[in-house]
Amino acid sequence: MADDPKPAEKTRLQLLGDALWADKSAVGVAYRAKAREMFPDAGLAPEPADSIVEPVKEEVTALQAKLDELIKERAEEKQAAAEAKVQGDLETAIANARSKFNLNDSGFDKMVARMKETGNYTDAESAAAWVAMQTPPPTAPGPYLGPQNINLFGSSEKDEAFALLHKDPTGAFLDSEFRAFLADPDTYVREAGFA
């Protein structure tokens, strides 16, 4: 009989069978179930509850670990969303305060510095108001129409345009003024005091 295992191999196979029979994992349960299926008349005892429950416990433990991981990820997502909302609200409040008090870049920097100094990051408007109160109002512009020193009849200094105005107001004077205006309108308007 060539197919019969040698005695040493038989011992190994028996050791393997004993090890699988005693195995409490799913492999042992499957091994014992196959033995009951193949030899129903052998009167093998039904599977003890522990060997059936143990694989389920392992699955439950694995599922619990996955659930814990998902719960942790969800908590981190909620935390990140809450922080993003707070950040967005702060940026909106700062932008609104800046526009309400017409702060330039320097004033904006002072407002942010004031918020850091006081530790009050929830009320950007009060920091902007503080900056507005600390900043002196701009000086009122002086008279913006006409010259500051009237040069009546060319008494202060000689002005060719003024002299031309007295000689020929509707002809040569208007022609020279129109030429000056058309040559450079921005400069003409600025020198006239309108810009």
Predicted pLDDT of residue 19: 86
Please give the structure tokens belonging to residue 87.
């950040």
Per-residue pLDDT band at 37 (split at 50, 70, 90): confident
How many Å apart are CA 16 and CA 10, to the nearest integer?
10
Predicted pLDDT of residue 186: 87
**Domain carrying residue 102:** 54-134
How many Å apart are CA 66 and CA 63, to the nearest integer?
5
How many Å apart are CA 128 and CA 103, to the nearest integer?
8
Please give the structure tokens belonging to residue 117.
């100094």
Which of 84, 103, 134 is where one domain is finished? Answer: 134
Summarised one tens digit per residue, pLDDT across range 67-125 is 999 999 999 999 999 999 999 998 898 999 889 888 889 989 999 999 999 988 888 88
How many C-beta atoms surround the C-beta of residue 1 within 10 A?
4
**Judgement on whether residues 61 and 97 belong to the same structural domain of the protein:** yes
Instruction: Determine, yes or no, domain membership for 29.
Output: no
**Tokens 């008279």 -> residue:** 143
Instruction: Determine, yes or no, domain membership for 72.
Output: yes
Instruction: Determine, yes or no, domain membership for 20.
Output: no
**Judgement on whether residues 125 and 168 belong to the same structural domain of the protein:** no
Instruction: Determine, yes or no, domain membership for 159.
Output: yes
**Judgement on whether residues 115 and 186 belong to the same structural domain of the protein:** no
**Judgement on whether residues 74 and 111 belong to the same structural domain of the protein:** yes
Q: Find the range with the poorest average confidence among 24-28, 83-87, 98-102, 151-155.
A: 151-155
Average pLDDT over residues 177-183: 88
Average pLDDT score over the chain: 82
Instruction: Determine, yes or no, domain membership for 143.
Output: no
Is the Cβ–Cβ distance between 142 and 130 less than 8 Å? no
* Identity of the amino acid at 51: S
Instruction: Determine, yes or no, domain membership for 102.
Output: yes
Instruction: Determine, yes or no, domain membership for 64.
Output: yes
Between 73 and 163, name the one with better pLDDT: 73
How many Å apart are CA 182 and CA 161, to the nearest integer?
16
Predicted pLDDT of residue 4: 60
pTM, whole model, 2 decimals? Answer: 0.40
**Judgement on whether residues 104 and 172 belong to the same structural domain of the protein:** no
**Judgement on whether residues 67 and 97 belong to the same structural domain of the protein:** yes
Predicted pLDDT of residue 72: 96
Contacts of 31 (CB under 8 A, 6+ apart): 20, 21, 23
In the chain, the number of structural domains is 2
**Judgement on whether residues 164 and 107 belong to the same structural domain of the protein:** no
Instruction: Determine, yes or no, domain membership for 44.
Output: no
